[in-house]
Amino acid sequence: MRPRELRPGVYSVGAVDWDRRVFDMLIPLPEGTSYNSYLVRGTDQTVLLDTVDPTMTHVLLDSLSGVERIDYVVVQHAEQDHSGSLPPVLARYPDAQVLCSARAVDLLATHLGISGNRVRAVEDGEELQLGSKTLRFVYIPWAHWPETMSTFLPEDKILFSCDLFGSHLATSDLIGDERELYLAAKRYYAEIMMPFRPILKKDLEKVEPLGAELIAPSHGPVYGRPGLILDAYREWIDGPPHNLAVIPYVTMHGSTKMMVDRLAGGLIDRGVKVEKLDLQGLDLGRLATALVDAATIVAATPTVITHPHPLMVSALYLAAELKPKVRFLSAMVSYGWATKAVEHMTESTAGLKAEVIEPVVVKGLPTDDDLQKIDALAGAIATRHAEAGLT
């Protein structure tokens, strides 16, 4: 594919990966992804911003086929989906120097064996003059690795934001369709960025005043209206949770499903929005995305031996690692002869520091008395949400 001009002298030269279906052997990619790389030509010097995943090296090298000289390759992030094609790029352009953050130097040496005088660390805020264009490097640590930085091009008001504001979305659009992009970016935020909310807030405060008119992330299309994603990140990072209860569940013989249906109905009757997520075969990205706004999680599971079903163990492990802004936790457990499922789930989610609302534990099929307890749980959740003023 030929380079596509984003602004005069600024080109998209990366690769769209329509076929990739999983990232890190963990994150489903129902919409594929892209590995964005940008070429910036000043009157004096030419810079390549990031490379691509090593599986798509041929696409990048093909895009660069008419480019005779690259003076610098900026590595904004050392993870291999952006740095993996660095060795062949440096081989083609033997005079190019790598510029990266101070913390990336060690990562490039250990991950890719690139070191010595080919690599130079730039400081936070440092500017590189290319003649008619300038690149300003802005560290954005923990978005989502410690070494991550972004790059601002003031003459064109473009922020190259690296993984921050990214979306796993394969599309032929250079500028994204806003509705499609918002949903993909929310999912990406949930899966990749949410665990780092407190630090991301500071990163956001650094990049927002730059006044970018385009935001060009390292995954997914460009934002033609930066306010879309800046407003969304502010809300996702720092806004209150919504009046939403997420109910991940597993059912083996229908008992847990009966409880889930009763609870969901009770919550809806009381004005609480509900997302029921059957963990059997569930794309975990859906769970992660639901947790961005959730005020409450109610984990519903049968007992396997004495513990929660392994699908629930896995889901709660992920939920705890993602560190959503959830405020209330509860559980509904069914069992045959004994259970320690509640204790296990309470322990595994302790890091969320959420208030635990009295769980409902049922032996066999729920009785009328059990269903009344579930109604009471729905009432307790609705009351907590109302008292917190959640909308």
Q: Which residues bind ligand FEO (CB under 6 A)?
A: 77, 79, 81-82, 144, 163, 218-219
- Residue 161 C-beta: closest distance to ligand FEO, Å: 11
What is the C-alpha to C-alpha distance for residues 153 and 155, in angstroms, rounded to an integer?
A: 6
Which pair of structure tokens corresponds to residue 11?
A: 């080109």
Q: Which is nearer to ligand FEO, 49 or 333 (CB)?
A: 49
Q: Which is nearer to ligand FEO, 27 or 342 (CB)?
A: 27
What is the C-alpha to C-alpha distance for residues 40 and 153, in angstroms, rounded to an integer?
A: 9
- Residue 191 C-beta: closest distance to ligand FEO, Å: 11
CA atoms within 13 A on the CB side of 227: 1
Q: Which is nearer to ligand FEO, 81 or 370 (CB)?
A: 81
Q: Which is nearer to ligand FEO, 166 or 324 (CB)?
A: 166
- Residue 78 C-beta: closest distance to ligand FEO, Å: 9
Q: Which is nearer to ligand FEO, 90 or 192 (CB)?
A: 192
Q: Which is nearer to ligand FEO, 207 or 300 (CB)?
A: 207
Residue 267 CB neighbour total at 10 angstroms: 24
Q: Which is nearer to ligand FEO, 144 or 309 (CB)?
A: 144
- Residue 180 C-beta: closest distance to ligand FEO, Å: 19
Q: Please identify the residue of the shown chain whose CB is closest to the bound ligand FEO.
A: 79
- Residue 32 C-beta: closest distance to ligand FEO, Å: 14
Q: What are the percentages of helix, strand and coil residues in the chain, rounded to 5?
A: 40, 25, 35
Torsion-angle region of 276 (φ positive above 0: left; ψ -120 to 50: alpha; else: beta): beta
Residue partners of 284: CB distance under 8 A and separation at least 6:
26, 27, 28, 315, 318
In angstroms, the first-to-last Cα distance of the chain is 47
- Residue 135 C-beta: closest distance to ligand FEO, Å: 20
- Residue 17 C-beta: closest distance to ligand FEO, Å: 11
- Residue 219 C-beta: closest distance to ligand FEO, Å: 6
How distant, in Å, are the alpha carbons of 69, 272, 309, 366, 381 from that of 259? 65, 17, 16, 7, 15
- Residue 343 C-beta: closest distance to ligand FEO, Å: 36
Q: Which is nearer to ligand FEO, 141 or 266 (CB)?
A: 141
Residue partners of 24: CB distance under 8 A and separation at least 6:
none
Q: Which is nearer to ligand FEO, 46 or 83 (CB)?
A: 83
By DSSP bridging, strand 33-35 and strand 307-308 are unpaired
Residue partners of 244: CB distance under 8 A and separation at least 6:
272, 273, 274, 275, 290, 293, 294, 295, 296
Selection from 357, 365, 360, 345 nearest residue 382 by Cα: 357
Q: What is the DSSP letter of 191?
A: I
Q: H or E element: which one contains 376?
A: helix 368-387
Residue 92 CB neighbour total at 10 angstroms: 13
Cβ–Cβ under 8 Å, residues 260 and 268: no
Selection from 99, 161, 92 nearest residue 129 by Cα: 99
- Residue 382 C-beta: closest distance to ligand FEO, Å: 39
Q: Which is nearer to ligand FEO, 144 or 344 (CB)?
A: 144
What φ, ψ does residue 74 adopt, rounded to 5°?
A: -90, 125
